[in-house]
Structure 1
Amino acid sequence: MTKKPAGNLQDPITYVLTLIPAEPPERAIRLRRQIMAVYSYCLLWVGTILGVELSAFAPNTPHLMMFSVLFAINLVFFLLIRSGLSERLGDPSLTILQMATGIILTTVILHYTRELRGAMLSIYFMVMTFGIFALDRRRQMAMAGFTLFCFTTLQVYEWLETPQQAIFSFLIGHWIILALILCWFIYMGGYIHNLQNRVRDQRENLRDAHSRLEAIAVRDDLTGLYNRRHFLERLEEELSLANRNHTPLYLAIIDLDHFKRVNDNYGHHSGDEVLSRFARIASQGLRKSDLLARYGGEEFVVLFPHATEAACEAALERLRRRFAEQGYSFASDIKTTFSAGLTAFQPGETADQLIKRADSALYGAKSRGRNQVVQLPLS
């Protein structure tokens, strides 16, 4: 029987003990926020215990029961996020549920406060802060409304339960203060959320621009194929691999026959169409592992890694026949062909030496009448 390594993530114990995994990063961020919330509740619990001891809270405050239930609920939240089940919901961070839990807890704690109620209203604002970066203005308004509803319900309950202890001016004053600060939170929270969205959009635009610049750096504008500079960089890499692993590597240089006549007789726009047409059918007809690039003007290069001589010749012949069958709207009678020189990499050979031998093979194809593939034999 094969023994599983101790650090195997498939081990349930190891999985549970790994509180915050590195991947996926979005889940790790949500878990950190969850732990921050639990830490805040721990501080609130300590403050509540001190408040009871200092008689700032009612002596019968059931803080042990309240926070036990709270931590149990937060454990469920943590497991939902940690397992990834929350990602099936519209709110993967469970922000609204977590805020609602905190608001209800705060309301219950306020019921047991005495002279500190005005100061303890700040706990509501701590809970609201939790949603500033996660909720848009509409949902922030909903949570502010829920907060005001809970506090109003508490005040009405206490007024009906013990009307002789209720001081109307304090009730109205606390309600107005809470409502005003909640309005401020909605305004600032919406502003911060919109600012965060703009920053995210700018970051995505920068990423897209960077991707486009990378594409421009390695791609030919007209054909979309790799350009000469990128091809030469990849060629050096493939030569190193072929040298080290003793694997076959073939290089073909392709030149479109009489391309200058197309430009001279039909214009550069028609010439561009021929180049683009060749690039498209070549991309479709070659293997994904083959490296196709525009070498310059009407010249193209193909690098065939892990291929046989017969397979390379067959691929070039198929491409030559298909290219010759193409029809063009700018001239119904025009036929386009190409000549190609193919050669195999020799161990220890440099990139320049390989390119020169492929170019010699191309010269042989043109000297023999064009529209053919010629392979330069190994010396």
Structure 2
Amino acid sequence: MLLKTLIFSDDKYQALRIRRFLMSMVAYLLSYLLVYITYVAGYLDRWVIDVGMLTVAGVFGFFYLWLRSGLNRRMADPSLTLIQMVVATLVIMFLIYNAPQVSGLFLIIYLVVFMFGIFTLSTRQFVALAVFVLASYAFVIYRLHIDHPGRISIGEDVLQWIALACLLPFFAVLGGYIGSLRSKLRNSYDELQRAMEVIRDMAIHDELTGLYNRRHFMEMLSAEKSRADRSGQCFGLIMLDIDHFKRINDTHGHQAGDAVIHRVGETIGLSLRAGDFSGRFGGEEFILCIGQTGGESGMENTQRCAERLRASIELLRPSELPAGTRITASLGITEYRRSEALTSTIARADEALYRAKENGRNRVETG
């Protein structure tokens, strides 16, 4: 795993770019094998092989360090595909100049290199690269005709240039089309991921309050119970119910009732500390899991949180209600006892909540 991180990158996008780069290097090595065969066959001088190998090694090291440094992220094309293909073009033209008798072999190799642009290049970039290749090849033919007229057949080389001029635009359009399909597929995948995130968020949160729904809260509470059973550090539970909520709904309408639930849920969310979590238990009832902090006992901490929350709710003045209308809540608190069933913990908090209501509401009772 450490070796993989050293070779590639912790960043998944950078790692993907490096993998593509290494794939291109494999293509370089396979192509170089063919180049070596041309040397063995007597079409290339030894110095050309040596210069070619040093060039490929230098190009490999330069681009790899560029990618690993992260400086490529500043480029419009972080994969450096176009730059690498331009360099590959120049290397191949160097080989054609020095072995014009087998130029067709090198042009076939270049078509393989050309297809690597499918990963990132657009049709416009493909066309620009095709123009660069044709211009470079035309220049090589011209220089060979001037420098070594006896080594080439100008007619055959012009025919090869015409053939390349016919093939490259086709590859450019095809490569650009495949690249656009990949881009659309990638965008569709990103949209699907975002949609899945929204669906997941909707599946675990209450739409009106933004707090966890009952099912997800119970899943988290079950995990908290397992942690408490292992560590011995128990947690507190708060059951909260909005006082006289039915009267608010009947008097001011369901829209006002929803506004009250939303504001109470918002207040609960703001009252939570790191490690605490809450959910809408049903209707106008909420539930909170409160962790221990410092040297306080679980009940001391839960009592303090509950009193602070009760006071905050009492200060709420939703604009949907007439001026002067008070919102209050009754709260029941308890502490989880190690290894007991969660239903027992919740039942104690629920009993304390009902005592709070029986004893006058807008208060906190302990169970």
1:328 and 2:314 aligned? no
1:146 and 2:137 aligned? no
Q: Which amino acid aligns with 2:249?
A: N
Which residue number in structure 1 is paired with residue 342 of structure 2?
A: 351
Runs of 4+ in 1 over 4 A off after TM superposition: 58-61, 162-168
Q: Distance in 1 between matches of 2:222 and 2:215?
A: 11
1:27 and 2:14 aligned? yes
Whose helix proportion is higher, 1 or 2? 2
Q: Which amino acid aligns with 1:28?
A: A
Identity %: 33
Q: How does 1:218-297 map to 2 (within 5 A)?
A: 218-297=204-283
Q: Distance in 2 between matches of 1:22 and 1:167?
A: 49
Which string of whole-angstrom CA distances, capped at 9 and with x for unpartnered residues, describes residues 238-292 of structure 1?
1222222111311110000011111111111111111111111111122132111
Q: Distance in 2 between matches of 1:160 and 1:146?
A: 21
| CA-CA distance at 1:179 after TM superposition | 1.6
- 1:340–1:373: 8 Å Cα contact kept in structure 2? yes
| CA-CA distance at 1:86 after TM superposition | 3.3
In structure 2, relative to structure 1, the CA distance for the partners of 1:192 and 1:229 (3 Å cut) is same
Q: Distance in 1 between matches of 2:280 and 2:135?
A: 68
Which string of whole-angstrom CA distances, capped at 9 and with x for unpartnered residues, describes residues 332-352 of structure 1?
232111100011122232111
Q: Which amino acid aligns with 1:29?
A: L
- 2:134–2:164: 8 Å Cα contact kept in structure 1? yes
| CA-CA distance at 1:323 after TM superposition | 1.5
Q: How does 1:1-379 map to 2 (within 5 A)?
A: 20-21=7-8, 23-55=10-42, 57-59=43-45, 62-162=48-148, 167-307=153-293, 308-330=298-320, 331-376=322-367
Mean Cα displacement is larger for which, 212-221 or 25-34?
Answer: 25-34
3-state SS of 2:281 partner: strand
Which string of whole-angstrom CA distances, capped at 9 and with x for unpartnered residues, describes residues 120-175 of structure 1?
32122122112111222222222222212211211222233345666453343222
CA RMSD of aligned residues (A): 2.3
3-state SS of 1:346 partner: coil
Q: Which amino acid aligns with 1:24?
A: D
In structure 2, relative to structure 1, the CA distance for the partners of 1:113 and 1:19 (3 Å cut) is farther
Q: Distance in 1 between matches of 2:366 and 2:6?
A: 61
Mean Cα displacement is larger for which, 362-371 or 318-327?
Answer: 318-327
Q: Distance in 2 between matches of 1:128 and 1:81?
A: 20
Q: Which runs of no fewer than 5 residues in structure 1 stay unpaired?
A: 1-6, 10-14
| CA-CA distance at 1:66 after TM superposition | 2.1
Q: Which amino acid aligns with 1:51?
A: T
3-state SS of 1:347 partner: coil
Q: Distance in 2 between matches of 1:59 and 1:342?
A: 88
Q: Distance in 1 between matches of 2:154 and 2:58?
A: 37
Q: Which runs of no fewer than 5 residues in structure 2 stay unpaired?
A: none
- 1:58–1:114: 8 Å Cα contact kept in structure 2? no
Which string of whole-angstrom CA distances, capped at 9 and with x for unpartnered residues, describes residues 179-232 of structure 1?
221111111111111110111112112212221221122111111110111111
Q: Distance in 2 between matches of 1:214 and 1:200?
A: 21
In structure 2, relative to structure 1, the CA distance for the partners of 1:60 and 1:228 (3 Å cut) is closer
Q: Distance in 2 between matches of 1:345 and 1:182?
A: 73
- 1:219–1:227: 8 Å Cα contact kept in structure 2? yes
Q: Which amino acid aligns with 1:342?
A: I
Q: Which amino acid aligns with 1:194?
A: S
Q: Distance in 2 between matches of 1:364 and 1:351?
A: 20
Q: Which amino acid aligns with 2:214?
A: R
Work out the number of aligned pairs and report it: 362
